[in-house]
Chains A and B, each alone.
Chain A
Amino acid sequence: MAIKAEHEIHQRRLSRNVGVGLVLVGFVVLMFGLSVVKIRSLGAVQGFDHVVRPEMIEDTK
């Protein structure tokens, strides 16, 4: 016979774990959204790696 002790305390613990989990997921989503907005507000951002930037080459001007 399987031991299946579903005490009320297990529900309370589940509520706590699910609650904290949802809060953390919400925080991550909020941080991601905030980062997108903040970085976009900087305007066009140029990467400096492995890309030829013609305006940096004297002769092409």
Chain B
Amino acid sequence: MTDTDATAFENEAGFGDYFALLKPRVMSLVIFTALVGLLVAPVGVHPIVALSSIIFIAVGAGASGALNMWWDADIDAVMRRTAKRPIPSGRVGAEEALAIGVALSGLSVVMLALAASMLAAGLLAFTIFFYVVVYSMWLKRWTPQNIVIGGAAGAFPPMIGWAVATGGVSIESMLMFALIFMWTPPHFWALALFMKGDYADAGVPMLTVTHGRRVTRNHVLIYTVLLVPVAIGLGFTSIGGPVYLATALVMNALFLKGAFAIWRRDEVQAEADSYATEKQVFRVSLYYLFAHFTALLVDASLRAFGLGLW
């Protein structure tokens, strides 16, 4: 071997690069919402079974992240936000990501079936299929409604967590699904409003690109208005409680106020303060989801100690 060969190894992947392939930040949200879905269910789960199930749900989410990066490597390379991901930066080969994604998908689904139930495993398999095939391969580059339908993939984890505990599907788990599902569009469109240019450069038909910013602002408001009854409604099911209802009232008022502010502004005003309102609403939307699921957890703990009001 000569010295010139040394450059071939410069881009070799470390462990962190493979970990980054699993989209750890998305994974943390999946772990949190799946854990809440599992813990608020009225059926107790053995801690080891719960831990294993959450780990396999997380691995499944990571696998779909790796498959998404394999499929989207070409547009990730163009967008500033994603250009440093393992595949576009050349540290992990595309076919390597595909192999890891397929292997971990199979492993996670089989292991969840063994640890929990066939229903939970089936939901996980469907989530991976939905995110990789329906969202990444089909909708993302084809329709501006991509994130509306694709949001379903991110909404499944609490439903899987609930299925691990109860072995079934119920109005509570469907409303937890609906909460994330309805929250995704205004959250991402607020982001798209201030991430100017990125999606257009990559040729991804975001609503801001295809229908303009005015339409996007209208959509943020409409979807936030539709989100409110879902969020409040969840408070009147068996997993709701006083803490959840109070949190939902405050957070929905904040989110609605922000969406209304986005709707009232035009591009001139937004340019003037470099999208301060849009950025703030995006931040509020993150707290919004976190607060709702934390409140569900608090109410479940109160009930466990006999302090629930209903």
Residues of A within 8 A of B (CB): 7, 9, 12-13, 15-16, 18-20, 30, 33-34, 36-38, 41
B115 contact set on A, CB distance < 8 A: 34
Which one of B6, B18, B52 contacts A30 once the chains associate, using CB atoms below 8 Å? B52
B residues near A, CB below 8 A?
A: 6, 9-10, 12-16, 18-19, 46, 48-49, 51-52, 55, 114-115
Q: Is the CB of B13 within 8 A of A30?
A: no
When the two chains form their complex, are residues B49 and A9 in contact, meaning their CB atoms are under 8 A apart?
no
Contact assessment for B14 and A16 in the assembled complex, using a CB-CB cutoff below 8 Å: yes
Asked whether A20 and B49 contact (CB < 8 A) given A30-B55, A34-B115, the answer is no
Measured in the bound complex, the distance between the Cα atoms of B10 and A34 in whole Å is 41
- Consensus secondary structure, chain A interface: helix
- Decide if the interface of chain B is mainly helix, strand, loop or mixed: helix
Please pick, from A15, A30, A41, the residue contacting B15 in the complex, using a CB distance under 8 A: A15
Q: Do B14 and A15 touch across chains, with their CB atoms under 8 A apart? A: yes
CB of B158 to closest CB in A, whole Å: 22
Given A34-B48, A34-B49, A34-B52, verify A19-B12 contact (CB < 8 Å).
no
Q: Output the residue of A7, A18, A34 with the most chain B CB within 10 A.
A: A34
CB <8 Å contact, A9 and B15: no
Shortest distance in angstroms between B76's beta carbon and chain A's nearest beta carbon?
A: 22
B12 lies within 8 A of A13 (CB): yes
